[in-house]
Structure 1
């Protein structure tokens, strides 16, 4: 750390906003720490309000301060305060998070486009999402057998014919897949 920065910002905890901004642009990590301490609650509050999720808001906070550190040479105090600069970065990161959320939703819709839900309710949609996520975590053969059985309503002999696997192999994959799903979804009861 340069002595010029240290002379300019002797103690970041008591420094003015302008001195902190100068120290930050000079690469003083102590100034970044103080900037984070002072303005991370504001950034978190803005992100939480916009995203409606604490975990997503925490991710945005990390992204904002990482972007501030990496882009510190682009900060221009004559254009606004450090808080305003951080708010601008926060808004861009929130927009990125919302766009990513929309892309994930679109991918999910695309992945489940061939599947219809008879009764649309919040619980059934959530159940379907959970089951789809858990199916995706199964090994490929088990996932294939269960998807063919549930979504295409094929019998085990039909699955064997379609996949070219022996019937015993299809039955084993179905049994193991159901066991894993039951365990992952908490459907197996522990016997006392």
Structure 2
């Protein structure tokens, strides 16, 4: 039975790489609970763990052409994506908390001071966060890694399991889209 089960898993690995939707459904059925548990342990919020679980399978399906069954088993590949998605969720949570704290300091500190956040800079940060969210996945993750974590294109490619050319294309198109949106919304200088 074990050999037959192993062969079936290898078949699912190859079917997933080939884009067969039944393989995605089977991977979700078998590995979704594990991925959710990993996310829940790291994030300690059911909603956030649900979001990460969904994000992992979306990322995996969108980047399935980069998956190589001969190099790695599907569970290992998905767990790698899970680690990245958890890291992204923790980073986003941290950024939101930083922005919220800065906004509270701005509202609650009636005394002008050297460490008081600049209202314009805070408004710009909120605007940028909103615009990045509108880009969708994987562009949002790519742009955050590039700008907020200062990662190189190669590092982003490795972290998100995306081809380098795809990362570069997404950055170029996302920058053009952000520029266009911000110019329209806030007027050209």
TM-score bracket relative to the smaller structure = 0.5 to 0.7
1:18 — aligned with what? 10
1:27 matched to 2:19: yes
SS, match of residue 62 in structure 1: helix
2:103 — aligned with what? 111
1:62 matched to 2:51: no
Are the aligned partners of 2:17 and 2:69 in contact in 1 as well (CA < 8 Å)? no
Larger RCO (alpha carbons 8 Å, 6+ apart) = 2
Q: 1:76 to 1:14 in 2, by over 3 A?
A: closer
1:52 matched to 2:44: yes
Report the Cα distance in structure 2 between the residues aligned to 1:15 and 1:33, rounded to whole angstroms: 18
> Per-residue deviation at 1:17?
1.4
> Per-residue deviation at 1:78?
2.8
Q: 1:39 aligns with which of 21, 31, 44?
A: 31
1:85 matched to 2:77: yes
> Per-residue deviation at 1:14?
10
Superposed counterparts of 1:179-190, under 5 Å:
none
Deviation string, structure 1 residues 85-124 (Cα, Å, up to 9, x no partner): 00000000000000000010011011011316xxxxxxxx
1:100 — aligned with what? 92
1:76 matched to 2:73: no
Deviation string, structure 1 residues 122-141 (Cα, Å, up to 9, x no partner): xxxxxxxxxxxxxxxxxxxx
Q: Mind listing any 5+ residue stretches in structure 1 that lack a counterpart?
A: 1-12, 117-192
Superposed counterparts of 1:153-168, under 5 Å:
none
1:130 — aligned with what? none
Report the Cα distance in structure 1 between the residues aligned to 2:63 and 2:74, rounded to whole angstroms: 13
Report the Cα distance in structure 2 between the residues aligned to 1:14 and 1:84, rounded to whole angstroms: 14
The structure with the largest alpha-carbon Rg is 1
**RMSD, aligned CA:** 1.8
SS, match of residue 113 in structure 1: helix
Per the normalisation by structure 1, the TM-score is 0.51
Aligned residues: 104
> Per-residue deviation at 1:79?
2.6
